[in-house]
Amino acid sequence: MRLIDYLDKGAMLGPDAPCLSMGGMDLSYGDVQRISHRVARALARTGIEPGDKVAVLSSNDALAFACVFGISRAGAVWCPVNPRNEASENRHVLDAFDCSCLIFHSAYAPMVEQMRAQLPKVRVYVCLDAVQPFAPSWAQWADGTSDEPVEVLPVDDLAMIAGTGGTTGQPKGVMLSGRNLETMSALTLMGYPFEGRPTYLALAPLTHAAGVLCLPVMALGGRVVIMPKPDLGEFLALIERHRVTHTFLPPTLIYMLLQHERLAMTKLDSLQCFWYGAAPISAARLEEALTKIGPVMAQLFGQTEAPMMISMMSPREHFDANGAVARQRLSSAGRPGPLVQVATMSQDGRLLPIGETGEIVVRGSLVMMGYYKDAKATEEAGRFGWHHTGDIGRLDADGFLYIVDRAKDMIITGGFNVYSVEVEQALMQHPDVQDSAVIGLPDDKWGEAVVAVLQPHAGRSLQPDEVIAFVKARIGSVKAPKRIEIWPDLPRSKVGKVMKKDIRATLLAKMSSAD
């Protein structure tokens, strides 16, 4: 399956059915097919050949997402560009991934203008919604092209190049094949409930998880409702208005949703599957979500290099056979999917037995083709014949995977290994804690001291000594924070992940100035 095949499969089930909806406007499957034909012809007319890299720089937008299928129909490779990145990072992505065409929204025209002089490989610029001095509008660019069916064979199975998060340096280009995305889509359809034609609500960026989750929805002829900007009040209104069946949010937004004044009065009975992922979730907040949102919460764990579905926990797996919440499983990442091999590995490449903690490694057709033009990084990620996730975890006797930390975030204090995720889970049980981040800082006595930075719920206060005692009572004094800071908010990445690197840098700077 190529990217375009998901659209065409949905169209076979009914070309007049709504495909992409945004702001009260519907594009049917037939409409999106016709756009994709015009995009493919316009790309060819402007010199873009099969195998060329075509980037899309836009916030969530129906036409921008429709263009993705035109790129695939032209046999080209989609390169999603994160609009929240700085211009320097996006310039690196466009140049390093050898992009020859950039399709962008006018909101990012100043960024594109800033980057253009340093993008010698980009030959074609197209603005989706307005004429620019250096780029035609999409309407001008596609003017005169036919929407009659066109089919161009790709040069290979490379479907997209996605940038890694870039939190530890410049983003690497993850090469994802049609086979990778087909495996991800198959796992999605196998592992979660889908009854009837789904309606999927995309608030999270279509450049990330929200985008590839559209593919299995479209294969079933479902509707994708696109939100151009995050707004939790509108998110709830759209669930009710469109009878949304599936959606995805990262934990940070779920925490905010649980506190939203409109949640209790919103009809959520249409929901079949409310995915969460991209970062560890608090077990206490997850149990709250099972009550306030309903028995529809569904976990997914993956990464750009093995998209979305390394392990999965369906809504029913959040409950025991007697209907009670399965509290013992809420801190797990679910079970490895049926098309994925998952194990834990020691540093010397030895596969570990059930229950032992090591690096989580993955094998199977979900795993990327490699990093674009980076053989060394590809070899390092695939050493010992397995893909290395960089996450530390263990598998239990029932096959559930528990992620205890990122390898780089483990704290060694007084000779003991302390996993920051375990401490964060204990902190998040405190009723006044909205979010938390735990790091290790240099300490003369302990080697590293466990330090927690907390964001309180709005209108509430936290007392560090009381919180430390609260954590000690749950996980003991060795793992409890030695120090707590209260911040009004935590620094987050472009996709909402807490940036521990920035927190550590801030606290180290404070330590240096104190000395």
Residue pLDDT, tens place only, 309-365: 999 999 999 999 999 999 989 999 999 999 999 999 999 999 999 999 999 999 999
Give mean pLDDT, residues 37-57. Answer: 97
For the chain, what is the mean pLDDT?
Answer: 92
Q: Contact, 245 vs 221, CB < 8 A? A: no
Q: Which of 112, 104, 106 is nearest to 57 (CA)?
A: 104
Cα–Cα distance between 333 and 300 in angstroms, integer? Answer: 7
- Considering only CA atoms, give the Rg of the chain: 23
Domains and CATH numbers, the chain: 30-177 (3.40.50.980), 230-406 (3.40.50.12780), 410-514 (3.30.300.30)
CA 277 to CA 268: how far, in whole Å? 20
Retrieve residue 322's tokens: 């007697």
User: What φ, ψ does residue 215 adopt, rounded to 5°?
Assistant: -65, -50
Give pLDDT tens digits for 419-468: 788 888 889 999 999 999 998 888 877 778 899 999 999 889 999 999 99
Check residue 167 and give its pLDDT. Answer: 45
For residue 199, give the nearest of 252, 261, 243 by alpha carbon.
243
How confident is residue 515, by pLDDT bands cut at 50, 70 and 90? low
pLDDT in tens, 83-110: 888 888 899 999 999 999 999 999 999 9
Q: How far is CA 465 from CA 64, 147, 472, 486, in A?
A: 51, 67, 11, 12
Least confident segment among 215-229, 240-254, 480-494: 480-494
Q: How do residues 140-170 score in pLDDT, each as one tens digit? A: 999 999 999 998 989 999 999 999 865 446 7
